[in-house]
Amino acid sequence: MRAGQQRGPAVRVEYYGSVRLRAGVATDEVRAASVAELLRELVRRRRGLSPDVLAEDGTPRAVLVVLNERHVVDDLSHPLMPGDRVLLANPDVGG
Amino acid sequence: MWSCPIPVGDRAERSGCGGYHGRYLVVDLARAAVMVGRFEEATLRAVLGGVGLGTALLAAWSEPGLDPLAPDAPVVIAFSPLVGGPFTTSAKFAVVAKSPLTYRLCDGLCSSAFALAGKRTGFDAIVLRGTASEPALLVITDTEVRLEAAGPLWGLTTTVTEQAVRDRLGPRYEAMVIGPAGEHLVRFATVQHSGRHVGRGGLGAVLGAKRLKAIAVAGDARCRIADPEAAGRLARLLTARSLGPATEKYRLVGTTANLAVLNRLAAMPAYSFRSSQVAEADRLSAPSLRAGAYAERRSCAACTIGCEHRYRTPEGGAVRVEYESLFALGAACGIWDNAILRRALARCDELGLDTISTGVTLAFAMECTRRGWLDSGFRFGAADRLVDWIEEIAHRRGAAGELLADGVRQLARRIGPEAERLAPHVKGLELPGYDPRALPLMAVGLAVTPRGADHNRMTAYEADLARRGDRFLATEADVVRLVELERRAALLDSLIVCKFLRKALEPFYETTARMLAVTTGWPIDADELVAAAERIVGLRRWYNEREGWRPEEDDLPARFFEEPLQTATLGELCLSRAQFLRLRAAYYKAHGWADDGSLPPEWLDRYRIGEIVSRLRGR
Ligand code: SF4
């Protein structure tokens, strides 16, 4: 698959806190089959996210990734379903 | 009114280790007497400073069962070995006393130049006892202690008082002050220094009961640093990290960033804990706040992070806006008008009121009125009345002053058992902005911390969001993280280092041990610091036990187990009583405490709690 060419279900991405400032937008719509694929696409699309929030290969650095407001994502191979919501926020939510 | 010189011999004496003066000052306001006490190095090494040292001194210098507002009730101001050193965010001090809101331990932290000037008086801690005969200003330097009449300051707001003290004494002095709320013994009155507040638990009322309007400090006493070169190198490394991704949220947005994300996670309480996810929250989110109202970013003394984001008030001033304040005065009260909230926050600061307790108590009155339990004018969304109610509470006048100035627990007791099941507090301290039904580990954290419903002494929400997978399925295995967060918080609050630096301190115990080692010269390692942290956690609990703590106090209001939240994205959320009890039991076990949460004799012996306190008592 060429870089930028997307497949997989449509997923909504929401950015919060300083992650939003780095992304430059509040939300994104992305097609991706897994969380790893999604994060790689975000690195490509939102250059401000890398390298501090996400590594060049999409590995999370200083970011909390939550799926559908419930699951804190650890396993990047986690498959995505149509309509899933992925939230990216600063890891220290609170304080 | 009176003055006492510090004896020359006491001035010259210095501690054998770096970072400490090795002595503390006791001031008896009623008897016009001062005394200098010495610390043994072993005591300092065991409880460090800040909340650890402050709690030990409080226990040593008070008789069990004293009313927090009684003349003999002590209040302790504790500095730390790092104050005045090169480390970023270390200009902090603790104020420790028995809370008039909870009747349990209250240890508040505050930042800035008071810590630096206070430590230059040549003392690691100051214990205040007794009551002044009239409104007073206490002045402490490295050569004398003086109590001055402060009648003209009584009634002034916080910032005006601070300026008046500086005008009177000169720019060399730093002052912590109370506002009208402290004078009127509002049980959630704050102590202010330089726009920062010792917020929770009503320590402003403790000073008000002593008729102390302000405490001013200055001096030239310095502590040596054991290894200045190594300290400098480590300080430069931490400063560089403090400007990196680990603190980015605080630098770029501030804690207001929490509002939108907690709302999205269905964890931001609104309408007095009836909802935890509301569309209106968008109006208080960081981007909405910023639009047209952003004023500036500031920092505490000796801080390179600068998390203080200030917003313009309608009156032309500027006010620091934090998530907890927006939650309490805004979301909890159903008030979404940004400009009114900025004005309300500024009034709370000027009057010396804790914004969390003020907002949550007001919101609870609104809820009781809505349910028909209280015949009052408190209505959700009444933005036009908010500032008036705040004024009434601070001055204990009008309906708000009469009903709300003693906090949620007292209000619920007046209304009856139905209200008591609902009242959002633990041990009398009003809940902060995290709904326990959405964060099961935070629920335990809120229940067990000695200060009452407290988000800051454990930062337990981090355990929920560090849990991989479904956060609602937390098990006993996850409690390890809770205990670890609590220990880290105890250490940060005792060293004292700002919690907003915490992610930049990894590896945590090794880094903090190094900070302490290069400052003091002690060959201290990570294991010793873990033990010190656990000791301080238990010491705080031990103080509460001594003051009458009962196991049933480590619980949440029945409502959180009985009334589910309806959320748009996660459906119905309720806290399972069985899960809560399991997690709480695992928490006690992880500490090595008894099944009911009390401290077993062998645990107390292992951490030498009784010995440390009685040595301080023996002075
Ligand atoms: S990060 Fe914020 S609260 Fe902490 S020391 Fe700096 S300005 Fe003060």
Give tens-digit pLDDT for A40-81.
999 999 999 999 999 999 999 989 999 999 999 989 999 999
The answer as to whether B434 is a domain residue is: no
Cis peptide upstream of residue B496 (ω within 30 degrees of 0): yes
**How many domains, in total, are found in chain B?**
1
CA B327 and chain centroid, separation: 17
**What CATH code is carried by the domain that includes residue B21?**
3.60.9.10
pLDDT digits (tens, 9 = 90+) for B301-318: 999 999 999 999 988 999
What residue spans define the domains of chain A?
10-89
Averaged over B100-128, what is the pLDDT? 97
Q: Which two tokens stand for residue B394?
A: 């601070």
Q: pTM for this one?
A: 0.97
Question: Would B569 be classed as within a structural domain?
Answer: no
pLDDT above 70 covers a percentage of chain B that reads 99
Q: Which residues contact B292 (CB under 8 A, 6 or more apart)?
A: none
Check: CB of residue B73 under 8 Å from CB of residue B59: no
Pocket of ligand 1 (CB under 6 A): B 89, 111, 250, 299-300, 303, 305-308, 498, 500
Residue B186 has φ and ψ, to the nearest 5°, of: -65, 130
Residues of B in contact with A70 (CB under 8 A): 470-472, 570
Tell me which residue in B287, B461, B499 faces A93 most closely, judged by beta carbons.
B461
Beta pairing, strands B125-129 & B23-28: parallel
Q: Is the ipTM of this complex over 0.90?
A: yes
What topology is assigned to A10-89 in CATH? Ubiquitin-like (UB roll) (3.10.20)
Side-chain-facing half-sphere of B401: CA atoms under 13 Å:
13
User: Position B597: which residue type?
Assistant: G
| Cβ atoms B430, B186 nearer than 8 A | no
**Do residues B218 and B141 make contact, with C-beta atoms less than 8 angstroms apart?**
yes
Q: What count of other Cβ atoms lies within 10 Å of the Cβ of residue B4? A: 15
Q: Give tens-digit pLDDT for B517-527.
A: 999 999 999 99
Nearest to A92 among B251, B456, B503 (CB): B503
The yes-or-no verdict on residue A1 having pLDDT over 50 is no
Is B434 in contact with A18 (Cβ distance < 8 A)? no
Query: Which residue in the set B253, B262, B469 is minimally distant from A72, CB to CB?
Result: B469
Buried b / exposed e along B8-28 (16+ C-beta atoms within 10 A): eebbeeebebbbbbbbbbbbb
Within 13 Å and on the Cβ side, how many CA atoms surround B495? 32
**Is pLDDT of A4 > 60?**
no
Peptide bond into A51 cis (omega under 30): yes
CA atoms within 13 A on the CB side of A20: 19
AA identity, residue B396: R
pLDDT tens digits, B539-575: 999 999 999 999 999 999 999 999 999 999 999 999 9
Q: What angle do CA B92, B80, B533 make, to 5 degrees?
A: 105
User: How far apart are the C-alpha atoms of B189 and B206, rounded to whole Å?
Assistant: 9
Would you call A9 an interface residue with chain B, using a CB distance cutoff of 8 Å?
no
Identify the weakest region by mean pLDDT among B295-309, B367-381, B458-472, B588-602. Answer: B458-472
List the domain range (segments joined by +) for residue B202: 2-217
Rounded distance between C-alpha atoms, residue B55 and residue B107, angstroms: 8
B500 C-alpha to center of ligand 1: Å?
7
HEC profile for chain A?
CCCCCCCCCEEEEEECHHHHHHHCCCEEEEECCEHHHHHHHHHHHCHHHCCCCECCCCCECCCEEEECCCEECCCCCCECCCCCEEEEECCCCCC
Determine, yes or no, domain membership for B522.
no
Taking the alpha carbons of B51, B54, B57, B58 in that order, is the dihedral positive or negative? negative
| Residue B545 included in any domain | no
